[in-house]
Structure formats: structure tokens, C-alpha cells
Structure 1
Amino acid sequence: MIESLINAFLHIDQNMGLVVQEYGLFTYAILFFIIFFETGFVIFPFLPGDSLLFVGGAAAAGGLLDIYSLCIVIILGAVIGDTVNYWIVHYVGIRVFLERFPTLVKKEYIDRTYQFYEKYGGATIFVARFVPLVRTFAPFLAGVGTMQYRRFLFYNILGAVCWTLALVLGGYYFGQLAVVQENMNLLIIFVILLTSGTLIYILGSLVKAWWDHRKTARE
């Protein structure tokens, strides 16, 4: 039982139909905890995220899951997970994780996320939701003192809602197509790149416009 449950956690995006048949309504709890752990604890960045949402949407289109319940569960898992991540590092600090979990909490991940903060500021929490790995470490760094909790919570909720709806509805409307089923992995990668790339471009343009305006005002 325990071994099969662990397997369901790690590979649910590949075996959604089997998991639903095996666990029924408990599948929603599994989905919640996968998203919660992936976003709530920096030692679990390997858990499925984007692919899970897309496949979950496809499963809902096929009648295996309820689309409304699925979206609510994912959003709650994402928001609560990020919140836990924020407060853990707020009280514990980064050094403990770097020393005790060096293979999971790598300095390169931290540095990459810092670059996002330097470029996008508070909006990093929103943008990071669409970028694997950065999604896990963004709230982690915010909790160090980079961002006040009220501001963090705003971007946390906004990002969770947009991320969930974009990928779940994408899977819901396109996941049942034969060509999508045959090339699911490639499509998921494409969706991730397209979504994150578009968001980064838009936010980058806004930041540049704001900076140019500020520079002009000073002159």
C-alpha cells in the first residue's frame, strides 16, 4: 500500500487513469499533497508540477475528474505550499538547507532565483510559478526577508490561479486530441516554454518601460 502510494506520488502524471481507478476521490488529496510538497519544501523540486496539471485537465475532459474540484485543489495546494515555504525559511534560514541538503538545495538554484528577483522584483513570485525549479525556490528566498508577507501573498495567489487555469484548462481542451496524446511530453515542454517565455517577455517589457520612464523623469 505504502509503496504503491509513493509510486502514485512520483509518477501520477504518467498514470493518471490508473491512479483515479485505484484511489477514486482520494486522488484529489494526492494531487493536493504533490503540489503542496513541490512548492512548499525546497527538498522536493523533482515532483511533477506542470505536467501534472496538464494531464489532470485531460483526465477531467475524459470524465475521470471534476474540473472545478481539480482547479480548487491545485490552487489551494499551490498557495498553501508557497506560504509554508516562505515561513519555514523565514524562521530557519537558508544556510541550514544548504548544509543539510546540498544535493537537493543547490547553490545554482538559489543563484538562478536571485537573478529573477533582481530582474522582476516582487513579480518574481508570479513569474516563477511558470518556471520549474525557480517555482520552488522563489518563495524560499522571499521568506529570507526579500519581500513582505502581504505583498508575497498577493503574488502567490495571483500566480497560483493563473498557473492552474492555464495548464489545467489547456489539458482540458486539448489533452484528449490524438496528436496530443501521442506527443504529450513534447507538448508539455512546449506549453511550459511558451507560457514562461511570454510572461518573461511581457514583464521584461514592463520593467524596461518603467525604467525608461523613470530615467526620463530624472533628466
Structure 2
Amino acid sequence: MTTANLALLPGWLDPSNLITAMGSWAVAGILLIIFCECGILLGFFLPGDTLLFIAGLFVATGALDINLVLFIALLAVAAFVGNMVGYAIGYRVGPPVFSRPNAKLLKHEYIEKSEAFFAKYGKVTVVLARFVPVVRTVATVMAGASRMDAKIYTLYSAIGGVIWVGVVTTAGYFLGQIDFIKNNVDLIVVAAVVIVVAFSAVPAAMHWMSKRRGKPAVGE
């Protein structure tokens, strides 16, 4: 089976090339990559969505000899453990790093803003961040650095991990042989997240607009 290089990825990061190169260690290698991409900042450049999608395709064609349900379960565990490691790194290292005096990039105010953000939107953020490349790597560290409630983070990290790997890997299993979808996985996933966020914001926007219309004009 031959597959075209995926858009935006160099050849050595192409999921098809990675899976093929790993041979009999492919499943273990995929789990390791997902773990690193979900929890270690240096893993932000690794393919996540595309790797899951192409892995699903490989399972469908028999190139990866593993049961789909078992594979998704293992991937969910790898994604969850990666997030918990990233949270722990942020929890332990974040405050000292962001508290350095005269810091130009890693300022303490970023932690304060993150704390307020995660306090208000943390549950949704932890789940949706799974579907956005780079963000899913950074968000988990920032959740730890901003001291997001560990129990809440653990629960929604698990939920987000199961939904993410389940949806993307299953999509690869059933839709991976469609060239347009296979070659534009990242763009499709990000577009889907944008649509979900936009629809979820509609009620709040309508409420805000109704309140604005209900305010009396200045001087009345």
C-alpha cells in the first residue's frame, strides 16, 4: 500500500513512514508518540491527529495487526498518562519558572491569567484542547502550572482522551481511504473544533445581545 505524504508534515514525520519504519514495534511506537505529544513540551511537533487517523487506516487494512477497540483503549491510556505527566511537570516547574524577576517571556501574570481561565473554562478547555495540535501539549502543562483542581483535571483529561482517540482513530478506520480526508486530517480536525466552539458560543452571544438591547440609552 502506498500513501502520499500528508500536508504540512516533513517526510520523516509522515505517519505512514513512521508506522512502516517501526515494523513490529509499531503499536508500541505509536503509544509512545501519543504519550510524548500529550504531555512533554518537546513533543509538541509530533503528529497526533494524523498519526491516530493513519493508524486507524492501517488497522482497517491489516497493516497493523491489532483489534480496533483494544488499540483505542491503549491509545486512550497513553494520552491520559501523557496528560497527567504534563500536568505534574507544570505543577512542579511552572510557578518557579514564571516567578522569575524581570522575565520577559514567562511572566507571572501569565499564570494568573491561566488560573482565571482554567477556573472558568477548564473543563471544556481540557476536552477541546485534545483536538488542537500544539495546544493539547501546552494546555496540559499550563493547567498544572496554574494549579487547576487535580480531580477535575484528571476526570476531564480521561474523558477528552477517550473522545479524541476514539473519534480520530475510528474516523481513520472507516474514512482513511478517501484521499482528500487522509491528506487534510489536521485542517479538518481544527475546523471541526472551531465549529463546535462557535455553536457552543451562540447561546452566550444571544444572551449578551439581548442584555445589550435591554439596556436603556445613556441620558434616558
State how 1:115-126 maps to structure 2 within 5 Å.
Answer: 117=118, 120-126=121-127
Pick closer, same or farther for the CA change 1:212–1:79 going to 2, 3 Å: farther
Query: How far has the Cα of 1:206 moved from its partner?
Result: 5.9
Letter in 1 for 2:195: T
- The alpha-carbon distance between structure 1 residues 208 and 172, as it changes in their structure 2 partners (threshold 3 A), is same
Question: Displacement of 1:122 after TM fit?
Answer: 2.7
Letter of the structure 1 residue corresponding to residue 197 of structure 2: I
**Aligned 1:112-151 pairs, distance under 5 A:** 114=114, 117=118, 120-151=121-152
Distance in 2 between the 1:86 and 1:30 partners? 22
1:136-159: CA deviation from partner (whole Å, max 9, x where unpaired): 011111112341110001110111
| 1:17–1:41 Cα change, 3 Å | closer
Contact between 2:97 and 2:106, CA under 8 Å: does it hold in 1?
Answer: no
Max Rg structure: 2
- Residue identity opposite 1:60 in structure 2: V
2:182 to 181, 184, 187: 184
Give the whole-Å Cα distance in 2 for the aligned partners of 1:201 and 1:145: 26
Change (3 A) 1:211 1:94: farther
Higher helix residue share: 1
2:57 corresponds in structure 1 to 58
Cα contact 1:55–1:171 (8 A) shared by 2: yes
Kept in 1: contact 2:91–2:145 (CA 8 A): yes
Structure 2 residue identity aligned to 1:18: T
TM-score where L is the length of structure 1: 0.73
Match of 1:28 in 2: 27
In 2, Cα distance between equivalents of 1:120 and 1:206: 16
| Compared CA separation, residues 28 and 97, structure 1 to 2 (3 A) | farther
SS in 2 for 1:124: helix
Match of 1:38 in 2: 37
Q: C-alpha distance in 1, partners of 2:117/2:196? A: 12
Can you list the C-alpha shifts for 1:3-32, whole angstroms capped at 9, x where unaligned?
A: xxxxxxx6351325623xx522x2111011
Give the direction of change, closer, same or farther, for the CA distance of 1:190–1:145 in structure 2 (3 Å limit): closer
State the one-letter code of the partner of 2:52.
L
Residues 1-219 of structure 1: pairs in structure 2 closer than 5 A: 11=13, 13-15=15-17, 18-19=20-21, 23-24=23-24, 26-65=25-64, 66=66, 67-93=68-94, 96=97, 114=114, 117=118, 120-177=121-178, 179-180=179-180, 184-185=182-183, 187-205=184-202
Distance across 1 between alignment mates of 2:83 and 2:206: 29
- Runs in 1 of length 4+ with deviation above 6 angstroms? 209-213
Q: Provide the rounded CA distance (Å) in 1 between the counterparts of 2:167 and 2:106.
A: 29
Give RMSD over aligned pairs.
3.4
Kindly tell me: are residues 63 and 151 of structure 1, through their superposed partners in 2, closer, same or farther at Cα, counting changes over 3 Å? Answer: same
